[in-house]
Structure 1
Amino acid sequence: MAALVVRWRGWSAVRRKVALFLAQSSGGIRCKSSIQYVSRPDLPKLAYQKVKGKSPGVVFLPGFASTMAGQKAEALQEFCRSLGHSYLRFDYTGCGTSESQWTECTLGTWKKDVLFVLDELVEGPQILVGSSLGGWLMLLAAIARPEKVAALVGIGTAVDHFVTAFKALPLEVKKEAEEKGEWTLATKYNEEGVYRISMDFIREAENHCILQGPIPVTCPVRLLHGLKDQDVPWHVSMQVAERVLSTDVDVILRKEGQHRLSEKEDIKLIVYTIDDLIDKLTTLV
């Protein structure tokens, strides 16, 4: 079983370079990279932004129905730029400025997006930073491309989430969703106030569930989760930590943290975590 360290709010030390970056960016994040598009045979174009730099690089994986334009994604881009390390953020198929409609996509669709990015758009080992559903996808990518993934950082990691949440519903609610062909899930993250998730999405996602047994991931893993997360329970990160085969695993719990962990102090902790991993991986080399 993986070694597990639980850390409460705070960090043991603030590196000088991190403090300098935070001071310089206090007036707001300024990202100058332009959006690029990559064509794929028989697949929709993907939109991405890339900063060239040293290895290990960092790749950001957004959450469900989210995009690369969020605060965390932008802050990490500026941090990696300040360190001289490569960084890539992108929109999944059907999300943001990438082609297609997200309602036509599956978890498998987005897994293919992540693998394409690792195979074609970046070079050398990468630290994958997955937010919410992106945390599920980062683990799937690490299983499929272990040689490409140097470390993982999960933020409110939503492994197996939609499948688990649907199975926990009352029988009558599940039956109604099956009859309609979609599950209406309340959310505060869009104007409509609901996600309309097709039953095809749920059924396809079952093929990618990984919490039933050992997770064959051996690289360093850091899992950040808010204790006040009302979308994905923090104990999901504990389950992931217990099941990954890696012996280098930390679970970092934020006492006041919400699901997205996008407040200034949350982003500061994410930056510290990535900086620590870069130092660790560079030292190992």
Structure 2
Amino acid sequence: MQAPTSNGPNSAPQIVTREDGATIAYHFTPGKNRDKPTGVMFLGGFKSDMEGSKALALESWCQDQGRAFLRFDYTGHGKSSGAFVDGTIGQWAADAMYALDHLTEGPQVLVGSSMGGWLMLLVARERPERLRGLVGLASAPDFTEDLMWNELNDAQRAELDREGHVALPSDYDPLNPYIITKALIEDGKNHLLLRDPLNIQVPVRLIQGMQDRDVPWATALKLQDALVTDDVEIQFVKNGDHRLSETADLRRLTRTLGNLLNDLENPDRETA
């Protein structure tokens, strides 16, 4: 089913209501170039929304290319329904799969940022027939276990067990710490990907900042090792931070995506 069109960052989002009553807000740009049949779908990060600079840069690039593009908010994020503290990795992965199933059509490349890089892998494992490639920025698979639970001290773990949640400081908004719930941590254990071979066969492109204070750059190497596909490339950005949202970062993102799509859609094209 092709989604209705949304026109740019200043327009009101489209809203789709699922059978469970939850609503998903999204912006969809239909493809206009028949020679570019592969759509692009953006999956944002933890506590972010679809109005971020990476999502908008990708939308603008896809519009210029005449290529279909979808950005959306998970439940508990942005303009979608629900409370952030009620969310889990499984729930947000289900949101992403719903968006893929109901708001896009045809082959897709998923672009995932941070937590979105984890979710895109979960979606790719469940919907291999829909996907042609993946692009991850500071991809954070297993972060609830490796970067949250394993970093909590004894007092924080006791508080999490006793209260059902614990507050962790945010570098991006010091006055509003992250509220990490026991449900988020426990559900995350059900979706870990880096402990076993990850049976994804499509090409994967990873971009990782070396100055990322949230996701260690070694995570990209762990992901590369876990992936079954041999078609994995990593770009390490010497001065790149977690957000990778500077002008040069956005150019790198669209260039990487464009090269991947060219390879996918023109497999016999000769290169210099």
Calculate the TM-score normalised by the size of structure 1.
Answer: 0.86
SS of 1:158 mapped into structure 2: coil
| Counterpart residue identity of residue 49, structure 1 | H
SS of 2:37 mapped into structure 1: strand
Report 1:34-73 matches (<5 A): 34-53=12-31, 54-73=36-55
Runs of 4+ residues deviating >4 angstroms? 30-34
The higher-RCO structure (CA 8 Å, 6+ apart) is 1
Asked whether the equivalents of residues 33 and 51 of structure 1 are also in contact (C-alpha less than 8 Å), the reply is no
* Root-mean-square deviation over aligned CA pairs: 1.5
- State the Cα deviation string for residues 137-172 of structure 1 (Å, max 9, x = none): 000000000011111111111110121121233334
Return the alpha-carbon distance in structure 2 between the equivalents of residues 87 and 274 of structure 1: 12
Structure 2 residues without counterparts, runs of 5 or longer: 1-7
Match of 1:105 in 2: 87
| Counterpart residue identity of residue 130, structure 1 | G
1:153 corresponds to which of 126, 135, 149? 135
Residue 215 (structure 1) aligned with residue 198 (structure 2): yes
Return the alpha-carbon distance in structure 2 between the equivalents of residues 266 and 172 of structure 1: 38
SS of 2:68 mapped into structure 1: strand
| Counterpart residue identity of residue 200, structure 2 | V
Return the alpha-carbon distance in structure 2 between the equivalents of residues 47 and 235 of structure 1: 34
Structure 1 residues without counterparts, runs of 5 or longer: 1-29
Match of 2:163 in 1: 180
Return the alpha-carbon distance in structure 2 between the equivalents of residues 31 and 95 of structure 1: 16
Percent pairwise identity: 39
Match of 1:26 in 2: none
Q: Which moved more, 1:120-129 or 1:173-182?
A: 173-182
1:77 corresponds to which of 37, 59, 64? 59
The structure with more strand, counted as a fraction of residues: 1
Calculate the TM-score normalised by the size of structure 2.
Answer: 0.90
Residue 195 (structure 1) aligned with residue 173 (structure 2): no
SS of 1:230 mapped into structure 2: coil
| Counterpart residue identity of residue 123, structure 1 | E
Q: Which moved more, 1:166-175 or 1:148-157?
A: 166-175
Q: Which moved more, 1:216-225 or 1:34-43?
A: 34-43
Residue 229 (structure 1) aligned with residue 212 (structure 2): yes
Return the alpha-carbon distance in structure 1 between the equivalents of residues 26 and 162 of structure 2: 38
